[in-house]
Amino acid sequence: MSENQEKQETTEEQKAQESVQETSQPASEEKSAENLAQDDSQENASAEVSERMKALNIVLNFISVNKPIIFDKAYKTGVVAMAIFDLLKMKSDTVKIGNGNEIKLDTEDLIVASYMANIGFIGIPEYILYKQGQLTDGEYDTVKQHVKLSANAAAAISNVAPIAILDHHELPLGKGYNKKMSGIPRSSYIIGIADRFVGSIHMVGSLYRPANSRFDAVTNAISMFDNTSQVFSINEINEIADLLLSINV
């Protein structure tokens, strides 16, 4: 790839990420949906934004107004996941789907998957989300449905983003939601790390368990990815840990 092509790819990636991050600010900043829409319009005047990024902004803006706690979880997970993708210089992910076939997720697909991985929580009953105390097995099974709900919502924007979303709660050695042992996209693992990290220091503290310290949150996020996992190298694990220890979310 030529230097000019690399510069062009980087520019397009920055435009897509800036579109989401600048037009979908956390609800704590108390921006109204109308103001967010105005900001989006102003940004589009100076930079070309794809239809997929516009659609993602609309979804995030709506949720920021109507479900602010869920928005906070979804938005921060997206920010952290994209920071990890950037750290690892992952502009895309290629997933093997059997019979020698592959599907490629481009940068915008990764953005959609990262920011929408937890949107499905809007379909989980609030008495479960805000329950004081430990969830029952049945309630936990209900919570796990947010993955499919998120994937279904993302499919309206990107037909391949659900591939990364559906497995983002899978872990090495079959210790995730569905006990999968193989075929898990690298992008799913990254979104999962971001999800566990944000959940440990933010979402969990606002729901039914106290939040962890940042160090404990980082440990919780990456503890399964040691040198036996064959998902990330030791250097990558250490770099991700350093990023999580310092990232501002």
How many domains are there within the chain?
A: 1
CA–CA gap between residue 170 and residue 192 (Å, rounded):
8
Residue 237 has pLDDT above 70, yes or no: yes
Taking 90 as the threshold, does the pLDDT of residue 65 lie above it?
Answer: yes
What local confidence, expressed as pLDDT, does residue 61 receive? 96
Domain-embedded: residue 181: yes
Q: 51-66 vs 68-87: helix axis angle to the nearest 10?
A: 140
Q: Which range among 58-67, 127-136, 216-225 has the greatest average pLDDT? A: 58-67
Percentage above 90 pLDDT, the chain: 52
Q: What global pTM score does this model have? A: 0.81
The answer to the question of residue 7 being in a domain is no
Residue 127, burial from CB neighbour count under 10 angstroms (0-12, 13-18, 19+): exposed
Tell me whether residue 58 is in a domain. Answer: no
Amino acid 210: pLDDT: 58
Residue 23 lies in a domain: no
pLDDT value at residue 116: 97
The whole-angstrom distance between residue 86's C-alpha and the CA centroid of its chain comes to: 13
- Work out the number of other CB atoms within 10 angstroms of the CB of residue 6: 11
What pLDDT is attached to residue 13?
A: 57
Residue 3 lies in a domain: no
Tens digit of each residue's pLDDT (9 = 90 or more) over 170-224: 887 778 787 777 788 999 999 999 999 998 886 544 454 556 788 888 988 898 8
Residue 152, in any domain of the structure: yes
Percent residues over pLDDT 70 in the chain: 75
Give the DSSP letter string of 88-124. TT-S-EEEEEETTEEEEE-HHHHHHHHHHTTGGGGGS
Q: Is residue 54, in this structure, part of any structural domain at all? A: no
Domain residues for 152?
68-246
Does residue 97 register a pLDDT over 50?
Answer: yes
36-40, 102-106, 241-245: least confidently modelled range: 36-40
Identify the CATH number of the domain in which residue 74 sits: 1.10.3210.10
Average of per-residue pLDDT across 106-126: 96
Beta partners for residue 95, in sequence order:
103
Is 47 a domain residue? no
Q: In whole angstroms, how far apart are CA 25 and each of 63, 99, 178, 202?
A: 11, 42, 33, 16
